[in-house]
Amino acid sequence: MATFRPSGLREHVVAGLLRTSLRLLLKTVLHPRFPIGFQRRWLAVVARTTLIPRGIQIEAATLAGVPGEWVRRKNAEPVQSGSLLYLHGGAYCIGSATTHRSLTGRLAKFTGLPVFALNYRLAPEHPQPAALEDALAAYRALRASGPVVIAGDSAGGGLALATALALREAGDPPPAALLLLSPWADMVPPPTEPAPVPGEAMLSTAWVTACSALYLNGQPSEAAMASPLRADLRGLPPTLVQAGTDEMLHPQALALHNALQAADVASTLDITEGRWHVFQLHGGALRSADDAIHRLTRFALTALAAHRTPTQSEHETVIMGAGMSGICMAIQLQRAGQHNFVILEKQPGLGGTWWDNIYPGAHVDVPAPVYSFSFAPNPNWTRRFASAPEIQRYQQDLAERHGLLAHLRLNTRLTDAKFDVTTGHWHFTTDNGDTLRSRYFVCSTGPLSQPRWPEIPGLDSFTGQRLHSARWDASVPLGGRNVAVIGTGSTASQLIPPIAKEAGQLHVFQRTANWVLPRPDRRYGALDRALAHFPPYAMGVRWCWTQVLEWGRRGFDEGSMARKGMLKTAAMHRSRQVKTPELRQHLTPTYPLGCKRIIYSSDFFPALEKPNVELVTTGIERFTPTGIVTTDGRERPIDVLICATGFDAVHLLADVNVTGCDGQTLQQAWAKGPEAYHGITVAGFPNMFLMLGPNTATGHTSTLLYIEPEVQHAIHCMKAVKAGGHRWIAVKPEVQAAHNAALQSRLQGSVWSQCNSWYRMEGGRIVALFPGFTKEYVQAVLKPRLSDYRLT
């Protein structure tokens, strides 16, 4: 069971007002003393106060002769095949598709699926089984065109469950999933009068009992289709049961989940504390309602993905990668009025680097205020240096708030991308057989996406458990075992302290010592978070940290005051934290500060002084099936090997066959190393835009400061193509060549040329770093100089 606890003063105040309003406007009217006709009209009036999301179109229609309405996103082709059938609540006597538009509209917006809200026949005019017959007819009509998710609230939730049971009995294809919101799945009256639920805002026992009698019309309440909770539930599809704690039907939600699990159904129970019956109807006003709808969205899309078959589709833009840059590009495309795009992500979840890197202690190494987009500040950071799960939640929240899940295809790896010069379109193939066509291709995989394993003899012969920091398996036990970590870079400095606390013996293999500066981390308190909701304060904090980081860039220049200060701080930090002289000597770098990425840590050095930790500076000769042999002939037995050896930042996009003009592949164009114009566009590959491409990495600041202008550069290029009626835009080869010659000239003789690092190729060419300051890059990139491009 997953329990969610809403927080925040605004949420608390809004929830209190809504609860009071519902009690005054609905609970007093939903009572046997009022005729059903009056209740229907009154509910229709109250429903007008709910918020229907923007960007939704509603069209009256019929399915198999049953009336209802289609609810769809405007100006957006569905990325996912399938549809959603929605069955409204109202105790089988009141309610309609119209009264539930705030909810069906959000489901359509967030999933991208066409939603058919059914106006099934109501009691007392049409008692059981009229509603079930209508639901079955509509489902079968929808299922003829692809997989269907059935969703319903209250009585609609019970009806959705009964529909799935009836389909099973008839041998029909089952729904892809069931979304049951506070389902009324058992009409059998309890043996004793239940105690009133203090927080219930809508329902009463008297009203539910009266409506049940009208619907059953003399039929037994124990019947499977009236009380599906009591039926044989085996063979049903994945089901999400969602409810609040402050409602009459909360016990039924718990009982249904338990019964589904007992029947071996993949059931998920989702409970929100302090919320009333079908609180999801208040999306747009109540954050907890929106959060609950987003969880419904993820569940539905995940279930539909299991039913996917290879498809052909056409889009304006294909985005490869759902990390920070992919999310930023998608949001800005929407703001630019372009909604026909798809995001292809090879992993089962979004987040890019922050989905992959879930090793213990993973966190960002720049202050969190500069690790959120300028247009989407995050007031909810809990620490100055945010953890990986917290960053991934920020990305997930962005995707949900901007409706990006509707554009996202997870578990989809792009294998081929080929440009057609005759039409100016890119043609794509994925590993699951999908084919796509688009005008623009955005590669947002970034340089930190391909894990690099150490090239040491015998690695494949090691029979113990082997982990890479970027492909972490949390199920591998470390407690009390002999663990080896290869690498002492930024990633290793984060994972070594927590692993040192549980490993029996930890061997840390260091090739070269790294420069380590203290990390000024701290927890954010209530006052910090309250101030972060005040935009001028949040903007000021972000600007201040940006300037601090830019000052750090001056530390890479020989003779600068910043460099002298950083050198002194690093020496003091090492002297203060490393008490053993021999260990301190091994941890003293022999190359210039800044040549490799600087480590910011206040717990790395202390971890190395623990009695169960050994720093090994002798080179590794080979692996054996059970351990590591160093060049002095000593073998250390190892149970678990952890490779914190970083990423291949040189062979970018090596796992995708990208073909541009004249049949030239990207690998051929980059035979001597990757290069691009401002790291964004590549000569010979029109309408293609890289995010965080060659020579855009930084050793001192947040990558988000570079992503945002890159996205704007690409969108300006797209607009130039459309405005001029062109087929494509491509950087001129001579412009790209001159740009990269100037870059390499600046990099030669810089601090980064004075040691080996992931910034450089084997021949010494630096292909990762931008040599200047952030302001210089932003000014050069933000708006493209169209004279540097050829528009065809």
pLDDT by residue (tens digit) across 597-642? 999 999 999 999 999 999 999 999 999 999 999 999 999 999 999 9
User: Is the per-residue pLDDT at 51 higher than 70?
Assistant: yes
Residues assigned a catalytic role: 154
Residue 309 pLDDT: 83
User: Is the per-residue pLDDT at 230 higher than 60?
Assistant: yes
Q: Where are the domains of the chain?
A: 2-305, 312-450+649-791, 459-643
Q: What is the pLDDT of residues 726-761, one digit of tens each?
A: 999 999 999 999 999 999 999 998 999 988 887 888
Residue 541 pLDDT: 95
User: Is the per-residue pLDDT at 203 higher than 90?
Assistant: yes
| Mean pLDDT to the nearest integer, 419-440 | 96
Query: How many residues are there in the chain?
Result: 792
Residue 1 pLDDT: 78
Amino acid at 551: W
Sign of CA dihedral 273, 277, 279, 282: negative
The CATH number assigned to the domain with range 2-305 reads: 3.40.50.1820
Let me know if the fold of 2-305 is the same as that of 312-450+649-791.
Answer: no
First-residue to last-residue Cα distance in the chain: 57
pLDDT confidence of 76, banded at 50, 70, 90? low
Encoding tokens for residue 786? 């169209």
pLDDT confidence of 650, banded at 50, 70, 90? low
Residue with tokens 């010659």: 741
Q: Where are the alpha helices (DSSP H) in 336-381?
A: 353-356
* Burial of 559 (C-beta count, 10 Å sphere; 0-12/13-18/19+): exposed
User: Is the per-residue pLDDT at 306 higher than 90?
Assistant: no
User: Is the per-residue pLDDT at 254 higher than 60?
Assistant: yes
Which pTM does this prediction carry?
A: 0.88
Composition of the chain by helix, strand, coil, percent to 5: 35, 20, 45
pLDDT confidence of 107, banded at 50, 70, 90? very high
User: Is the per-residue pLDDT at 651 higher than 70?
Assistant: no
User: Is the per-residue pLDDT at 78 higher than 80?
Assistant: no
Encoding tokens for residue 125? 């005019």
Q: Which helix (H) or strand (E) holds 427?
A: strand 425-430
Amino acid at 405: L
Average pLDDT, the chain: 93
Encoding tokens for residue 459? 């690695």
Q: Which CATH superfamily is domain 312-450+649-791 in?
A: FAD/NAD(P)-binding domain (3.50.50.60)
pLDDT confidence of 648, banded at 50, 70, 90? low
User: Is the per-residue pLDDT at 137 higher than 70?
Assistant: yes
Across 152-161, 369-378, 401-410, 620-629, least confident range: 401-410
Residue 448 pLDDT: 58
Fold classification of 459-643 (topology level): FAD/NAD(P)-binding domain (3.50.50)
Across 212-226, 413-427, 449-463, 566-580, least confident range: 449-463
